[in-house]
Amino acid sequence: MNDARRSAPATLRNREPILALLHTVLPPVGLVLEIASGTGEHAVHFAAALPALRWRPSDPDAGARQSIAAWAAEAKLPNLLAPLALDAANTDWAGMRADAIVCINMIHISPWGATKGLMRGAGAILPIGAPLMLYGPFVRAGRPLEPSNAAFDADLRRRDPAWGLRALDAVEDCASARGLTLDRVIEMPANNLSVVFRKG
């Protein structure tokens, strides 16, 4: 079982700053839906640190879901639920619910349709006032990209022309079209941002 566990070194670097923010953004109790959980290391870390919340990881990739399940089997956390097969670009959100949505490092490593689908889903299933928190690198109006983010953006676009760092303004417009209002933008280590929207 443990053979399925994947490891992403970045999660070890960013999990504490993200967790510190989650303490201030998430509701005290309820169900958190994590979109694009990847290895599952964040899910285990956050579920362990936030025991009053139920944490639902998800990923469209079967190998990622096996990794999440393997980490979860080892951690044995009562509030960490089984991973969902969820493609944000192509999900029927009817019947789903969550008290908060967290999406780390996805919107620049997927076509724009994934961001549009994420916003459609968040607008559909979040209760009024509930948060959608994004984390990752963004392009901000009037600010040149930091050299590390410019190189990352070029590399992403080389790998897939549909990928690339997203303009925060475009993400905000996309969210706004689904009834989500920008609440906070927080500068994070390594030139990343946390961006919190709330259902209006």
Give the binding site for ligand SAM (CB under 6 A).
Answer: 8, 11, 35-39, 42, 59-61, 64, 87-89, 104-106, 109-110, 114
CB of 34 to ligand SAM, least distance (A): 7
Closest CB to ligand SAM among 155 and 200?
A: 155
* Structure-token match 């005290």, residue found: 28
The residue nearest ligand SAM at its CB is: 38
The DSSP code for 190 is G
Torsion of CA 67, 41, 1, 6, to 10 degrees: 60
CB of 134 to ligand SAM, least distance (A): 11
Closest CB to ligand SAM among 143 and 161?
A: 161
CB of 36 to ligand SAM, least distance (A): 3
3-state helix, strand, coil in the chain (%, to 5): 40, 20, 35
Closest CB to ligand SAM among 83 and 198?
A: 83
Report yes or no: 171 and 116 within 8 Å, Cβ to Cβ: no
CB of 142 to ligand SAM, least distance (A): 27
Q: Residue 187, Cβ neighbours under 10 Å: how many?
A: 8
